[in-house]
Chains A and B, each alone.
Chain A
Amino acid sequence: MKTESDTYSAVGEVGAVHERRSLWTRTIIDLRKAPYTALFGMIIILAYALVAIFAPILAPYGEAQVFPEPYAPWSSTYIFGTDQIGRDIFSRMIFGARNTVGIAVATTFLAFLIGGILGLAAAINRSWLDQLLSRSVDVLMAIPSLIFALVLLSIFGSTVTNLILIIAVLDSTRVFRLTRAVALNVVVMDYVEAARLRGEGLGWIMRREILPNIMPPLIAEFGLRFCFVFLTIAALSFLGVGIQPPTADWGSMVRDNASLIMFAQYDLKAGLTPLLPAAAIALLTVAINFVVDWFLHKTSGLHDE
C-alpha cells in the first residue's frame, strides 16, 4: 500500500507502484458501497443457504418424524406446533429450505444450461438453426408456463425429476430469448470475426469470445429466473401436483395447514402457522429482487433520470 503523507508530490504519485486490487478487496469495496436493501438481501440469501446446507444439524426432529399429537400449539417442544398428522413444523420448515430451494436452484441451472447453449448457438449460426429454435420458442411461449406445466405433469406424473425437467425446459425458452438477444450484439464485433477467421470452432467462440461479454445480464436474469422458477414450483406444490409428501416442502405445507387460519380469532399463533412457509418463500424472493436490482444498477451504469 502507498503510505499516506501530508504533502502531495507528483513524483510520488507517478512513482508509486500501481497495485492491482485482488478480487477480495474489490468485493469488499463493492459491498461497502451497496445500499442497505442489497446488503439485507445478501444476508437473507446467505442465511437460507446455511440453513439448507446444515438442515439435519439445525432441525430438532426428523423431516417426516410423526408425533402422537396432531395440530399441537406452539410450545417449547414444538416451536411452531405440529401439522395435521403430528410432524414438527419447525423441523419441516428447515428441511423445506433444502428441498424447495434446492430443487429450484437445480431447475434454474438446467434451464440456463439448455437456454444459454441454444441461445448462443442460434446467435452465432443465424441460419436454419436460429429460425428453427426461435419459432419453436415462440410457440412454447404462447402457452402460459403454469398451464403447460400442468398438462405435462398430468401426462408424466408428479415426480421430482419430472418437475425439474419440465420447468427447466419451459423456462429455458425465456433464457434462450435473452441470451440470443444480448449475444447478437456481440456476435457482430470484429474480434468475433477475427476468431472465426483464424478457424476457431463454435464451442470456442461461444465460451471464450461471447460468454464473458454477456455475463452481467445473464447473472441478473439468473436471479430473476430463479425467483420465477421458485414461485412456480411453490405454486405447483401448493396445488398438490408438485413436490409430493412426505418430502417437506413449503408450498405443500401451506396447503396442508391452511385450515388452521380460521382459528386465528382464538389462537393467533395457530392462525399464523400456515403463513410461515409462505412468508419464507416471499422473504427469499424479495431478498433476491433487492440484490438483482442493485446488481443491475451497478453493472448497467444507467441511472434513473
Chain B
Amino acid sequence: MHPVIKTVLGRLAMGIATLFVVSIIIFSSIEYLPGDFAKNILGQAATEETTAAFRRELGLDQPAVLRYGQWVAAVVQGDLGTSFSGRNASGVDRSRQVVDLIAPRLRNTLFLASLAAVVAVPLSLLLGISTALYRNSVYDRSVNMTTLTTISFPEFFVAYILILFLASLYPVFPSLANVDAETPLGERFYRAALPALTLTLVIVAHMMRMTRAAIINLLASPYIQMARLSGASPTEVILKHALPNAWAPIATVIAFNLAYLVVGVVVVEVVFVYPGIGQLMVDAVASRDIPVVQGCALIFAMTYIILNLIADIIGILTNPRLLHPK
C-alpha cells in the first residue's frame, strides 16, 4: 500500500477512536447526576410513580453498557432523545425532541460560522504572507501590535465595542441578530453582520500571527538561503520556495482556528442573541437539561475532531517527503 494512504487511514482510525471515547464521556454525564434529579425536573409535587416512570423512560433501571449501546444506535440514526424541559409533576409530557431543537439552530450557527470563515481565511492569509514579506517594517509592526491586542481581549469585549460604535453611537447595523426560518437571505446577511465581524476579528488575529510565524520559521532553513543566494527576489522566495512547504502548518492553523470558531461562536451568539446552537447549549446548561447539553456537546466535539483530522490529512498530503518515497 502507498505510504500516504496508510498514514491517512491511520489518522482516520485514530479520529474514530477519539470520537468513541469522547462519546463515552458525553454519555456518562447522565450517570453523575445527583440521585434526586428527577424530582428537580418534574417539580416537588411529582409522585413516586411519575418519577419512577421518568427514570424508566431514561432507562436508568438498565445497566449502563446496554444503555450506551442503545444511545449510540439512536444517535447514529439521528435521534438524540427528548429534552428535560416541558415535563411536569402530573406526568404530562410536553417535551420536545432534541433533534428538533438543534436542527434549525445548527443551520443558523453554520451560516454565521461560514460567513466569518469566508472573510477571515483569505484575509488572514493575505496579512500573514504580506507581514512575513515586509517583516520588521512599520506595516508589520502595526499589524502585529493590533493583533496582539485583539488576541488578549475577551470575545464579548470586542463584541460590545462593535455594538457601541456600529449599533449604538452610529446605528449602521442592528445589535440584536434575531433571525428565523422566514428571514430572507439579504436580511440575514445584514443582521448577522456584527456577530460575523466579531468572530472575524478574533480569528484573523490568531490565524495571521500563526501564518506569519510558519513562514518566518521556514525562512531560516538552508534551502531558502540557497534560493536567496541564487538571486531570487524576496517575493519569489516566499511565494515559490517557502509557501509550498508552509501549506501544512497553515492548514493546521486554519483548521485550528475554524475549530476555535466553534468555541467563540458560543459567546458571540449570546451577546447578539443570535438563535444558534451555542446559545441553546448555554441555556440548557443553566437549566441542567442534560439531553440537550449532550446533543450540543456531541456536535461541537465532532466538528472539532473532524476539522483537526482534515488539517492532519492535508498536512500529510502536502508533505513532499511522504508523497515521493525513496
Contact = CB atoms under 8 A, between A and B. Distances in A.
Contacts of A143: 22, 25, 297, 300-301, 304
A48 to B, nearest CB: 14
B168 A265 contact: yes
B270 interface: yes
A190 B260 CA distance: 42
A156 B285 CA distance: 10
B32 A147 contact: no
A153 B266 CA distance: 15
A264 B29 contact: no
A279 B164 CA distance: 13
Interface string A39-59: 000000000000000000000
User: Chain B interface secondary structure, helix, strand, loop or mixed?
Assistant: helix
B21 A239 contact: no
**Which range contains the number of A residues in contact with the other chain?**
35 or more
A275 B153 CA distance: 12
Interface in A142-166: 142-148, 150-157
Contact of A271 (B149, B154, B168, B270): B168
A81 to B, nearest CB: 16
Given A239-B267, A254-B160, A151 B152 contact: no
Given A139-B22, A271-B164, A305-B135, A150 B157 contact: no
B155 A235 contact: yes
A282 B163 CA distance: 17
A258 B160 contact: yes
B286 A142 contact: no
B288 interface: yes
B214 interface: no
A39 to B, nearest CB: 17
Nearest to B33: A155
A285 B288 contact: no
A227 B149 CA distance: 13
A234 B44 CA distance: 34
Given A231-B154, A282-B152, A150 B168 contact: no
B26 A238 contact: no
B183 interface: no
B54 interface: no
A275 B300 contact: no
B156 A254 contact: yes
Interface string B1-35: 00000000000000000100110011001001100
A138 interface: yes
Contacts of B267: 235, 238-239
B156 A262 contact: no
A230 B235 CA distance: 41
A191 B259 CA distance: 42
Contacts of A60: none
Interface in A228-272: 231, 234-235, 238-241, 251, 254, 258, 261-265, 268, 271-272
A139 B28 CA distance: 15
B117 interface: no
A281 interface: yes
A238 B22 contact: no
B263 interface: yes
Contact of B266 (A138, A239, A272): A239
Nearest to A235: B267
B29 A285 contact: no
Interface string B139-161: 00000000011011111110011
B290 A155 contact: yes
Contacts of B114: none
B154 A286 contact: no
A52 to B, nearest CB: 19
Highest count of chain B CB atoms <10 Å: which of A147, A156, A265, A271: A147
Given A282-B154, A304-B136, 18 more contacts: A138-B18, A144-B304, A146-B263, A147-B262, A147-B281, A148-B297, A151-B293, A235-B154, A235-B156, A238-B154, A239-B266, A261-B164, A264-B169, A265-B168, A278-B160, A279-B157, A286-B149, A289-B148
30 contacts: A139-B22, A142-B308, A144-B260, A144-B262, A144-B263, A144-B300, A144-B304, A145-B263, A147-B281, A147-B304, A150-B285, A151-B294, A152-B29, A154-B288, A235-B155, A235-B156, A238-B267, A239-B285, A241-B286, A254-B157, A258-B160, A261-B160, A261-B175, A264-B169, A271-B169, A281-B154, A285-B153, A285-B154, A286-B149, A305-B136
